[in-house]
C-alpha cells in the first residue's frame, strides 16, 4: 500500500468529508492539507499551485496519490479503490458493485442536491421545497438498510462514504430548517455509522456545528436582504 497520499479538503465541505471518511475507514495513511472552500478562506489565502493546476473547477476535494492528482469526490473514491486495493469499500463481483454505484449516484442526486438546497436556500419557498425533497431521501435510504443494516449490500461500502456527510451535519440541517421527521431506519443507520473507524475523522464538534449554522444563517441574511 502506498503511504504517499494527500487529501486537499476542509471539514465543512461535504464532498471532502466523503473522501476523508473513506481514507480513514480503509486505514489509508494520508496527509490532510486544509484547503477551505472560497467562502471560508481568509482574504490573504493563497491556493497551492498544484491545486490550481490539477483541480479543473478549483474545487475540493482533490486527492494526490504519488505524483498524480484527481478532483471530484465520487471519481476520487473510485480511484482510491483501483489504486489502493487493501480494505476496499467496493465489494467483489459486478452485480454487487453495480448496486453500490447505483446507490452512490442516487444519493448524490436525490439527497445531496436538496441537502445543499436547504442550507444555501435564501427564499423560504425554495427552502421548504428542498426540505420536502430531503425528507424523501432518508426514507428511501432507510429502506435500503432494512435487510443488512447498510446502504448497499452486506457491509459498509462506498455508499456509506457518499451518504456520511448527511449524518455528520444532520443536527445542523435541523437547526437550519430541516424540520421533517427523519426515517427511524436512516437514523439507526447513522447510529451504526458512529461505530465505524472512519467516523472519528469526520464527526463535527459542537463548535463546528455552530460554525456551520452561523455561516449559513449569515449567508441567508445577506442574500435575502
Task: Point out which residues bind ligand GSH (CB under 6 A).
Answer: 13, 15, 37-38, 58-61, 72-74
Find cell 430548517 and name the residue: 177
In terms of CB distance, is 20 or 145 closer to ligand GSH? 20
Give the burial string for 184-217 (b: 16+ CB within 10 Å, else e): ebbeebbebbeebebbebbbbeeeebebbbeebe
Minimum gap (Å) between residue 151 Cβ and ligand GSH: 17
For residue 19, the minimal CB distance to ligand GSH (Å) is 8
Cβ distance to ligand GSH smaller for residue 59 or 160: 59
**Shortest Å distance, C-beta 161 to ligand GSH:** 11
Q: Which residues of 61-143 form beta strands (DSSP E)?
A: 62-65, 68-71
Shortest Cβ distance from residue 40 to ligand GSH (Å)?
8
Cα gap 29→168, rounded to integer Å: 22
CA nearest neighbour of 1 among 32, 33, 26, 31: 26
DSSP-based three-state secondary structure for 164 = helix
Contact 62, 51 (CB under 8 A): yes
Give the residue with the Cβ less far from ligand GSH, 9 or 142.
9
Nearer to ligand GSH, 29 or 116 (CB): 116
Distance of closest approach, residue 104 Cβ to ligand GSH, in angstroms? 11
- Nearer residue to ligand GSH within complex by CB, 13 or 168: 13
Amino acid at each position: 500500500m502506498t503511504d504517499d497520499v494527500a487529501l486537499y479538503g476542509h471539514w465543512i465541505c461535504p464532498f471532502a468529508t466523503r473522501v476523508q471518511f473513506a481514507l480513514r475507514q480503509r486505514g489509508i495513511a494520508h496527509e490532510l492539507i486544509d484547503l477551505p472552500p472560497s467562502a471560508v478562506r481568509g482574504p490573504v489565502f493563497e491556493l497551492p499551485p498544484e491545486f490550481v493546476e490539477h483541480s479543473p473547477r478549483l474545487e475540493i476535494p482533490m486527492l494526490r496519490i504519488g505524483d498524480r492528482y484527481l478532483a471530484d469526490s465520487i471519481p476520487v473514491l473510485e480511484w482510491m479503490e483501483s489504486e489502493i486495493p487493501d480494505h476496499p469499500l467496493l465489494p467483489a463481483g459486478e452485480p454487487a458493485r453495480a448496486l453500490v454505484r447505483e446507490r452512490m449516484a442516487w444519493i448524490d442526486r436525490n439527497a445531496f442536491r436538496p441537502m445543499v438546497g436547504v442550507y444555501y436556500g435564501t427564499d423560504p419557498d425554495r427552502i421548504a421545497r428542498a426540505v420536502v425533497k430531503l425528507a424523501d431521501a432518508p426514507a428511501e435510504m432507510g429502506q435500503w438498510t432494512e435487510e443488512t443494516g447498510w446502504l448497499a449490500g452486506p457491509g459498509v461500502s462506498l455508499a456509506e462514504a457518499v451518504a456520511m456527510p448527511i449524518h455528520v451535519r444532520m443536527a445542523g440541517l435541523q437547526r437550519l430548517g430541516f424540520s421533517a421527521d427523519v426515517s427511524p431506519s436512516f437514523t439507526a443507520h447513522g447510529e451504526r455509522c458512529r461505530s465505524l473507524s472512519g467516523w472519528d475523522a469526520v464527526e463535527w464538534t459542537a463548535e463546528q456545528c455552530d460554525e456551520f449554522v452561523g455561516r449559513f444563517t449569515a449567508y441567508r441574511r445577506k442574500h435575502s436582504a
